[in-house]
Structure 1
């Protein structure tokens, strides 16, 4: 259903719920303020661009989204890829990639891809989430310790080497601010759980730094004056060469954004016993990313932590998210001059806490107890995210998981000779009711019959040698077959024709039958040879064996001649 939840919720909206949504929206805005600024800086853009993202993106996600409680904005998951795009293509390239990602998300929603996201294995999502957490931690070392470095390399190993070479430039006052920030974030919830600790921490350390005139880098000293107004719409200069280069990064933003936003929606549904509309959520995320980029923002997605805070504080409709966006706009218009006083070390400390909380560190312990395929997916995705690139990590992770899945499905598909199975009811009926049953073979295919299992079927055909007078293929346990499997059937039919063997297909299901009919195989062997019951197959087998001269000695001679040749 492509109807925003804001339209659905407004029908039964009450004054009491508005008060809850209003309070929750303000609290979430206070949480989002330092996070939006810190994530923008970590991504390599100026602080106000994080606010643009939270205001514009957050407003559109709540207005058009398919979740009642989703809060949209910049998230830590995008830091790595945004930083990489800016480093290679500049800020203009980021805006183009974000618009392209938005268009991809809209198309994904219209094509109803929302439900397909659940098929990405958790080992991949956990792997790249932990990888992002490690990379995010590494990006904040410079500001956390106040190191005097002009440029920080983007690659993980080079970055660590640069920190090691410059660690003698540590600023103890910046380190003090960082540690004080973390201590307040950890301890504050014991005093008050409604007002976010990160907000209190940043206000406190900013006052401490200003009062004691500490020698620390601030937002103002690094970025200069910040704009206190929303920018005018600006459409980047798009050319086909850049579109081609940005296709993969844009697709990665779209996939990452869809996964994170839908995971957030699923988590929130469990808490409030709700039911989000995944395809409408993707469309909303798409429009949010397009408009965020047009107004100078960075990629947008559903923020799990802010969504959970919204639920915790009573938000139950999209009004809370809209209030959150409007509150951030008011704060930006009135208080942006004071933002430049915030020490960079305090923002780095906030991001260190975020990175620690977003990582599923228990996964490293549990992964050794997982199946080998899950272990491989987790490790490969994690290492590629950290040491190479998030785009490469997701791409290789998905491809690898597909191959592993196909291999597993191929292994589960069985082709077996049934006449050795005395316990099989169908086999017992044949033995009791068919004359010359020695000259009948019954094979059963079990499981999905696709290209991953077709080679197994071909091997059985070849090992069969000269086929008997009647060959029965039982397919009651085959829910699906593909074109590769069909070609193996063609090969079998050619062998049966050469040796005057009657081919019977027993108890075939709907999809395989429809496919064989489409390819003309049903007409090729005759629809009467597709039997829905054992009785039909017995009748055809008896007719074949009774009405045709079947010289066992001649067949034996033929076999010997074939073997000698």
Structure 2
């Protein structure tokens, strides 16, 4: 049953002035921080700064109002830059908007069918690999604007991109580099200085450098690219609402990009919500969060926006400045709306080099670079290192979707190998029950072999039963399998048991199963294998199995059983 209940509904009862004051203050702070980031991420993605701002306004409002986290702040993020840029280059802006809406439908369905917890199945090695890979791709994407290179368009493909960038190094613009380096210096030093100056602590570094660079450029008219010179400024009006141009012939081509956007959006939003939970000692609803992300990604393109998700940095800022309910996220969107309607003309003077410097800092900060040190890598297995480095390499050189697919495939294969390696079958010495070896007694006692199975009897380990089929220990009258330590049997494992049973039948021998746990017992019963084995062939324990084995062969059990 679909359950739709935003966290906002849970926080409004009893909501008072003190809570609103905290949320309002936090919302203003996050709103002014989101302004430069939204423009910078949009430009780096091949979109207009206006698209980034309206993505933050519309998606940010819906994610806060309808989400499953108390403090999540949504909007465009750095992680989407390489994906969105590649889609724009390959398919165009209109098809990006369609792919974004398709991803929204996918996210909404994932939340509605309660698949939120499944995102946590992605191994940390894959997450670190593609996160750091995305950081490198973002960094490379800023070289053009950071250095002021004269390039009409940068290819989305890695090798083509590097070839174009190296070929244009001679066109470097010195004033642009000076603005970018100065902006970078301010960003790196702002928090350090702000720790000693009270008023500076209230002004986020990205907003501070944006104000400074814009004011200097407005006064001195520096020969650098600005939002006004490249995009014609930001309209001081509400955008027209409408569906992007839809062509049924392109929908099939957009499925893969839409899946990529949905997958990354789900991962990043739920990762951000989990980080927020640890900071406020609360728990988010992953399925409600995915539904809100879906609705936001369906709605944002109607206003000219693009892909959005939960933003870890802005969410953490919201928490640090006192935000504790979704009201703070709603205020953050309204602040952005007010800034656009009141101050949009001033944005024409913002240097693109300054926005590039902001994105460079974001790319450096989003990567977990310590995970790539040899000191850290050698602590883990070779499989972990291969997954991490492989995912990173494929993300940078090829494609995020391919990288996640490769990482998940490698992780699954290594898991299967490890689980199959842990599954083992060992001979149980029956001297503990008979006092002598049971296989070759001269007094007519039936020949009985017993084996203990340990682990999971699944498709990766079903071949472990092949040795029993070969009967390397001789040809017994009865084979007993003690399954007390078996935690799971899948259909392939069941098929192996059925094959063993048929092999024994052909040789005139019987198979008895004992000590089945809940899941193995369930599949043995549901599949009809218990009936196939026959009455008394599935018993409670090894002692009962030995008694049953002798009686099946017409021999009265001895009294020395334990």
Normalised by the shorter chain, which TM-score bucket? over 0.9
Within-5 A mapping of 1:456-471: 456-464=464-472, 467-471=475-479
Q: Choose the corresponding residue for 1:26, options 28, 47, 65.
A: 28
Q: Choose the corresponding residue for 1:444, options 431, 452, 457.
A: 452
Secondary structure of the residue aligned to 1:503 is strand
Q: Choose the corresponding residue for 2:48, options 31, 34, 46.
A: 46
Gaps of 5+ in 1: 421-426, 549-565
In the alignment, is the contact (CA less than 8 A) between 2:147 and 2:173 conserved in 1? Answer: yes
- Distance in 2 between residues matched to 1:403 and 1:314, nearest whole Å: 45
| Superposition deviation, residue 520 in structure 1 | 1.5
Within-5 A mapping of 1:251-330: 251-330=259-338
In the alignment, is the contact (CA less than 8 A) between 1:52 and 1:295 conserved in 2? Answer: yes
Q: Choose the corresponding residue for 1:196, options 191, 204, 211.
A: 204
- Distance in 2 between residues matched to 1:458 and 1:228, nearest whole Å: 74
The aligned residue for residue 538 of structure 2 is 530
In the alignment, is the contact (CA less than 8 A) between 2:465 and 2:500 conserved in 1? Answer: no
Secondary structure of the residue aligned to 1:78 is helix
Secondary structure of the residue aligned to 2:349 is coil
- Distance in 2 between residues matched to 1:56 and 1:141, nearest whole Å: 30
1:72 matched to 2:80? The reply is no
- Distance in 2 between residues matched to 1:313 and 1:277, nearest whole Å: 23
TM-score by length of 2: 0.93
Q: Choose the corresponding residue for 2:391, options 378, 381, 391.
A: 381
| Cα pair distance change 1:514/1:430, threshold 3 Å | farther
Q: Choose the corresponding residue for 2:499, options 469, 491, 505.
A: 491
| Superposition deviation, residue 527 in structure 1 | 4.1
- Distance in 1 between residues matched to 2:550 and 2:268, nearest whole Å: 62
| Superposition deviation, residue 122 in structure 1 | 0.7
- Distance in 2 between residues matched to 1:6 and 1:64, nearest whole Å: 7
The aligned residue for residue 4 of structure 1 is 6
In the alignment, is the contact (CA less than 8 A) between 2:482 and 2:542 conserved in 1? Answer: no
- Distance in 2 between residues matched to 1:527 and 1:67, nearest whole Å: 55
Q: Choose the corresponding residue for 2:433, options 426, 429, 435.
A: 429
| Cα pair distance change 1:477/1:2, threshold 3 Å | farther
- Structure 1 residues 154-173: Cα deviation after superposition (integer angstroms, max 9, x where no partner): 22232222222211211111
- Distance in 2 between residues matched to 1:527 and 1:204, nearest whole Å: 85
In the alignment, is the contact (CA less than 8 A) between 2:183 and 2:357 conserved in 1? Answer: yes
Secondary structure of the residue aligned to 1:471 is strand
1:509 matched to 2:517? The reply is yes
| Superposition deviation, residue 324 in structure 1 | 0.1
- Distance in 1 between residues matched to 2:326 and 2:174, nearest whole Å: 44
| Superposition deviation, residue 90 in structure 1 | 0.7
In the alignment, is the contact (CA less than 8 A) between 2:476 and 2:509 conserved in 1? Answer: yes
1:357 matched to 2:361? The reply is no
Most deviating of 514-523 and 311-320: 514-523
| Superposition deviation, residue 432 in structure 1 | 7.6
How much is the aligned-residue C-alpha RMSD, in angstroms?
1.8
Q: Choose the corresponding residue for 2:420, options 405, 410, 415.
A: 410
- Distance in 1 between residues matched to 2:412 and 2:484, nearest whole Å: 26
Q: Choose the corresponding residue for 1:243, options 251, 254, 259.
A: 251
How many residue pairs match? The answer is: 542
In the alignment, is the contact (CA less than 8 A) between 1:2 and 1:277 conserved in 2? Answer: no
Q: Which runs of 4+ in 1 moved over 4 A?
A: 430-438
| Superposition deviation, residue 439 in structure 1 | 1.7
- Structure 1 residues 417-470: Cα deviation after superposition (integer angstroms, max 9, x where no partner): 1228xxxxxx72355898957821111111111100011222442253753011
- Distance in 1 between residues matched to 2:435 and 2:550, nearest whole Å: 12
In the alignment, is the contact (CA less than 8 A) between 1:434 and 1:538 conserved in 2? Answer: no
Which has a greater percent of helix? 1
The aligned residue for residue 98 of structure 2 is 96
Secondary structure of the residue aligned to 2:168 is helix
- Distance in 2 between residues matched to 1:494 and 1:433, nearest whole Å: 26
| Cα pair distance change 1:527/1:3, threshold 3 Å | farther
Gaps of 5+ in 2: 195-199, 557-562
In the alignment, is the contact (CA less than 8 A) between 1:467 and 1:496 conserved in 2? Answer: no
Q: Choose the corresponding residue for 1:337, options 341, 345, 356.
A: 345
